[in-house]
Amino acid sequence: MTRRPPVTHPLVVGLCALSLCACLEGWSPAGPYRCPELGCTDGLVCDDGICCKPGGVPACRTRPFEGVCSNGDVPKPYFVDGDDDGVGDSAKQELRCARPLRDTVRWVEVGGDCDDARPTVKPGLPEACNGRDDDCDGRVDWTPDGRNRITAWFRDADADGYGNSSQSVELCISLDAGYAPVGGDCRDDDPQIHPGRLERCNGADDNCNARTDEAPLEDTFVLGYHPTDFAACSAGQGQCLEGNRVCRGGVPTCEPRRAAVTDVCNGLDDDCDGQLDEQPGCGGPAQLTKTPGTVAVRLVALPSATIGGCLLHVLSAADAGVSTWASPQWNLSTPVHPSSNDGAGLFLAQLWTFTAPPGEVWDLSRARALDLGFLVQPIINYEDAAGTNLPLPFWGDAARFPQPVVQFCAEDGRRLFHAQRTQVDLPVPIEPDDGGPQPPAQEFRVQLDLGGASAGWSGGWTDSSRTVRRIELLVSHHTSVTGTVRGGEFVTTGLRFLPTTGFVR
């Protein structure tokens, strides 16, 4: 059964009120109103060891009631002083009418202790160089007179000697494990990434300068930063065998130090395909109409005298305006200035040019011959004044300008080779007058020997160089006609290159 504290008779209270009881310091904690272990009863609370009634009798010494003390004063804050240094923890405070004397903790009137477990830390103490805030001013090791030299230390989680700039402290002592005196580490979880290191080819910012894979690189070749044997690798075959590891899109890639080019006659695999001295670079194109360079044709007037050089460099102003097109077939042979209905006049010829790709040439030192092949197809009739169908000589009529003409030209336009057909060759078949079936097309082939005299040809090499940039071929099935052309039309013959037209080694 709980023992209740004795109740003083009102008469005794009245006598005390009229006597010197009002001058006593308070109820004794050893008296009848001391706080029992199980707590006060009858609406009383325990205040500093005494059971009291807030706002009533017996009055509470330290607890206010409705913001007012029992003596009418305003309560003030008191702070728990855990380290007994006279300054309490501001986070542990209560409003009281007097300082509690008999509580289980010590209460003081002054707060602001930033480390209430250390009596050597509180406001007003001198700041020591110890990595702590001794005077609780929010700054570690800082003094107004600057006697402590402050250094910024950055959190270095990956122990690479560079810390995270966003995580730092300023101290006058050295911090070893977990901190570094230099910040700027953009990846503090990776010791391979920090300021000052060489970039690697990985698509990442290894040196924390907000750029990726910039020169110089640690693991790949960059021209101007490394010797040529840096990061050597095997890039292929032939002239492409030796390579360097270079950075392409964040990936180290082996690239040849020499790019593949068209083979020339040098005993090397210049185009890196495992074969030496291949056409067209060595020996010229085996198929002129399929050359990787430029194939073009234009209409020009057959020369009336000996050709003095490469035709593209000696054409007249009138010829320069003639359209150029690329096609292995044509169906044109129109007189330039026909004098009358009989078709007499100077006819146009086709100037075909075959040019090597930009920056390349064809070495013809190993070319044995040039094969010329055409498919010849008549289109309209031709008859003489007596009305007799006449076959037209295809090439080499002695009474006309000798052609075809074959020329090889250097890069600067210098003529290296010139040859003209002097032999009368295959006649052109004529479509019959009676409207019968058209004669079939006929193949015409002729070979030009490049190593010496060639039957049916005149001319040859005019220069010691065999390095050719352009090949010129001037062809026309005839030069002029004297006779009657039916219906006032002029003779036209269809010509088509055969795929075999090209150089033979």
User: What is the DSSP secondary-structure string of 255-312?
Assistant: EESS------SSSS-TTSSS-SS-TTTBT--SSGGG-SSEEEEEEEEPPSS---S-HH
* Most confident listed range (275-279, 331-335, 370-374, 464-468): 464-468
pLDDT at 226: 61
Question: What's the CA angle centered on 340, arms 334 and 342, to 5 degrees?
Answer: 75
As a whole number of angstroms, the distance between CA 309 and CA 313 comes to 7
As a whole number of angstroms, the distance between CA 406 and CA 447 comes to 11
Backbone phi, psi, residue 375, to 5°: -105, 115
Instruction: Answer for the pair 463, 397: CB distance below 8 angstroms, yes or no.
Output: no
Average per-residue pLDDT for the chain: 75
Domains of the chain with CATH codes: 26-74 (no CATH), 288-504 (2.60.120)
Instruction: Answer for the pair 488, 342: CB distance below 8 angstroms, yes or no.
Output: no
As a whole number of angstroms, the distance between CA 125 and CA 43 comes to 46
Q: Per residue in 64-123, pLDDT tens?
A: 999 999 889 999 999 999 999 999 999 999 999 999 988 888 999 999 999 999 999 999
pLDDT at 324: 38
For residue 263, what pLDDT band results from cuts at 50, 70 and 90? confident
Q: How distant, in Å, are the alpha carbons of 4, 105, 188, 196, 456 from that of 40?
A: 8, 20, 59, 72, 141
User: Is the pLDDT reported for residue 153 higher than 50?
Assistant: yes
Q: Per residue in 349-381, pLDDT tens?
A: 678 888 998 888 999 999 999 998 877 665 444
User: Is the pLDDT reported for residue 328 higher than 70?
Assistant: no
Tokens read off for 122: 């509180």
**What is the value of pTM for the model shown?**
0.50
As a whole number of angstroms, the distance between CA 34 and CA 323 comes to 125
pLDDT at 192: 92
pLDDT at 437: 62
Question: What's the CA angle centered on 192, arms 186 and 196, to 5 degrees?
Answer: 65
As a whole number of angstroms, the distance between CA 85 and CA 289 comes to 105
φ/ψ region of 49 (left if φ > 0, alpha if ψ in -120 to 50, else beta) reads left
- 3-state per-residue secondary structure call for 429-452: CCCCCCCCCCCCCEEEEEEEECCC
Tokens read off for 230: 């840096």
- Cβ partners under 8 Å of residue 360, min gap 6: 261, 262, 281, 293
φ/ψ region of 358 (left if φ > 0, alpha if ψ in -120 to 50, else beta) reads beta
pLDDT at 336: 37
The residue ranking higher by pLDDT, 249 or 338, is 249
